[in-house]
Amino acid sequence: MDTDFKHLTLDFENEVAIITISRPKAMNALNNELLQELALALEMSLEPPEVQALIITGEGDRAFVAGADIAEFNNIGSAFEGREVALNGQDIMSSVSAMPVPTIAAINGFALGGGLELALACDLRVMAKTAKLGLPEVGLGLIPGFGGTQRLPRLIGEGRALELILTGRHVGADEALQMGIVNRVVDDALQESLTLAHSIIKNGPVAIGLAKEAVRRGMVGTLNDGLEIEADLFGMVATTADMKEGVAAFLAKRKPEFKGE
C-alpha cells in the first residue's frame, strides 16, 4: 500500500496487517510525528476488507520501541502541557486497544516506557528471547503516562506492577513470561506472531470480535456486569450465519467456511 509514512511501514501478509515502527537511529522511540502516523496507520490497516488481525513490531533486532522520545519532554512548560502529552499518547494506545480485530505485539527488542505501553495496549504479546521490557520513567523523575500505570496492574496485579514501576528495572523474557506480561517467548517474535495470528483467524471472525469485546468491556465493572455483557453478546453471535455454519460443519465433520456474517 502506498503511503507517505516517514517513521513506520504498513504491510499486509494474507489476512494480517503488519505495522513496523521504523526509527532505528532512535531505537524506534515514539516522537509526536510517529504517534500521529501510528494513529493513521491503525485506520488504514483495516481498509482491506480481508484483514482479520494486526501485528505491531519494530524495525531491526535491537528495539521494539525503546520508549517515548525524551528530548521532546524538554518542551513541556506547564502541568497543562504535560497532561496534554499524556492524553495524546493515551488516546493512541486506546485506539490500539479498541481495534476490532485481534492485535499482537511482536516484541523483537527493547520495549521500554512508551514501548511497553504500546505492547500492553495490544491483545497479545510475543517476546523474543533476547528482548527486555520495563517502565523506567521514575529514573527520569517521571511516571508512565501512556497507560502503563493502569494496564500493567490489570494484567499482572497491583503488587507486581508496582514493583516494576517503582524500581524501573528491566525484565528479561523468561521473567516476563512467568509474570504474565507476555504470552510466548520465542527466537523470532514476528514469525511466531504471524503463526499465532493465523491460528486465531481460522475461527469465526464475528465470534472473535465479540469475544474480544466481551473481555474488554467485562474487565471494567463487576463480575455480574461482565456476565450480563457476555450474555448479550452471546445472544448476538448465536443469530449469525457464521454460527450456523460452524455448527453445521461440526456436525458434518468438515472445516467451516466462515464469511464474517
Please answer whether residues 93 and 147 qualify as being in contact, where contact means their C-beta atoms are separated by less than 8 angstroms. yes
Q: How far apart are CA 162 and CA 22, in angstroms?
A: 30
Helix H, strand E, coil C: the string for 179-192 is HCCCCEEECCHHHH
Choose the catalytic residue: 37, 59, 117, 192.
117
Helices 114-121 and 148-156, axial angle in degrees (round to 10) = 50
Angle at 256 (CA atoms; ends 251, 261), nearest 5 degrees? 115
Beta bridge mates, 103: 54
Nearest to 260 by CA among 241, 239, 246, 238: 241
Helices 189-201 and 205-218, axial angle in degrees (round to 10) = 110
Choose the catalytic residue: 72, 137, 213, 261.
137
**Is 213 part of the annotated catalytic residue set?**
no
**Is 175 part of the annotated catalytic residue set?**
no
* Active site amino acids: 117, 137
